[in-house]
Amino acid sequence: MNLKEFIPRKVAEVQKTVGAGKAISALSGGVDSSVCTVLAWRALGEGLKVIFIDDGLMREGEPQEVRAVFGRLGIEVEIVNAQAEFFAALAGKTDPEDKRKAFRQTFYSVFGREVKKSGARFLVQGTIAADIIETKGGVKTQHNILEQIGIDPEQGFGFKVVEPIKELFKPDVRKVAKALGLPESVTRRMPFPGPGLMARVLGEVTPERVAIVRAATVIVEREIKKFSPFQAFAVLLNDMGTGIEDGKRKFGHIIIIRSVESRDAMTARATPVPWDALMKMSRRIVKEIPTVTRVAYELTPKPPATIEYI
C-alpha cells in the first residue's frame, strides 16, 4: 500500500460520497474506527459528527480516554450513554450468535437515532478486510457488516454506510494511523472487538458479569503489557468452580486468560507468557476479584479455536 496515495484518495472518496451532506463517525477508540474518523474529519471537517456509543461493554475508563485523545487532535467526541438499552437487549440471551445479533440490532438502532437527530445521511465506520472475510465465510456475525450479508442499512436503519478502509488488513491500518498523526496509544492498541466485553462473557451478559471481566481485563492488560502480545484479555466462563475460603467450600467464577500472537488475526498462536507473569496474574485476579475462584491460561491456536470466545 502506498500511504502517500492512499490517504488523499480516501479523503477525496469520502468527500465525493458524502458531498455537502453530513456524516456521523462511529468511533470506538480502536485503531480502525480512529483511522476512519480522522480520514472523514479531513474530508468533511464540521460536516462530521463523531459519536462514541457507551454500550456498557467497554474497558475501564475507555469512553473518557477516547474523548481525551481526540480532543487533543481537535476532534470533538460526543458520548452517548446507551448502556441500559444494550443490557436490556442482551438480557436472558446465552447463545453467542443471538448475543451478536442483539448487539448489532441495538448498535444500529442507537446509531440510526443519532444519525436522524443530527440530520446526517451517512455513517462512517471502520470495517476492515478480515471482518468481511469472516462474516461472509460464516465464521461469525460481525456487528459492523451489513451490506456484505444482504441487509440494506438505508432501508433498515435510515442511513448509508461509508467504509473507507474495508480493503485493508490490520498492519496497514496501523501504518495509516501513524501517518495520520494518531498517538501510539491508538496506533499500537490491541484489537478490541466491536461488541466489546460481550465477546468475553460466556452465558448471559449482565452489568455484574461484565464488571468481573472488566476488572480481570485491567489486571491482564497491565501484567502482560511488557510482552507486547498481539492481543491479550480475560474471559468469564459460564460455569463455576469450587474453591476454598477460610477453610470453607466456595463456589466461584472461572476466568480464562487469553493472549495470542498473530499478524492479521486470521491465524494465531498462544503467547509463550513466562510462568512468573502467569502466576502473578492468577494471584492478582483471585485476590482482587473475590468472587473468582479459578484462573486458567488458554493454549489453543487459531484455527481450530478463534481468538475470542464467542
# chain residues binding ligand XMP, by CB under 6 A:
18
Contact flag: residue 29 with ligand XMP (CB under 6 A): no
Asked if 37 is part of the footprint of ligand XMP (rule: CB under 6 A), the reply reads no
Indicate the residue among 198 and 212 with the shorter CB distance to ligand XMP.
Answer: 198
Q: Is 195 in the site for ligand XMP (CB under 6 A)?
A: yes
| Cβ distance to ligand XMP smaller for residue 141 or 293 | 141
Shortest distance, CB of residue 12 to ligand XMP, whole angstroms?
Answer: 26
59 binds ligand XMP (CB under 6 A): no
Percent helix / strand / coil, the chain, rounded to 5: 45, 20, 35
Decide if residue 193 touches ligand XMP (CB under 6 A).
Answer: yes
The span from the CA of 32 to the CA of 187, in Å, is 9
Q: What is the distance between the terminal CA atoms of the chain, rounded to a whole angstrom?
A: 32
Instruction: Choose among 258, 252, 309, 259: nearest CA to 286.
Output: 252
- Name the residue nearer to ligand XMP (CB basis): 161 or 286: 161
The least distance separating ligand XMP from the CB of residue 42, rounded to whole angstroms, comes to 23
Please name the residues in contact with 201: beta carbons below 8 A apart, sequence gap of 6 or more.
Answer: 209, 210, 213, 235, 236
- 170, 202, 207 from 150: Cα distances, Å: 25, 28, 32
User: How near is the Cβ of 307 to ligand XMP at its closest, in Å?
Assistant: 3
CA distances from 51 to 96, 106, 157, 258 (A): 27, 15, 17, 30
Does position 229 bind ligand XMP by CB under 6 A?
no
265 binds ligand XMP (CB under 6 A): yes
* Residues near ligand XMP (CB under 6 A): 131, 134, 139-140, 142-144, 191, 193-195, 199, 231, 265, 302, 306-308
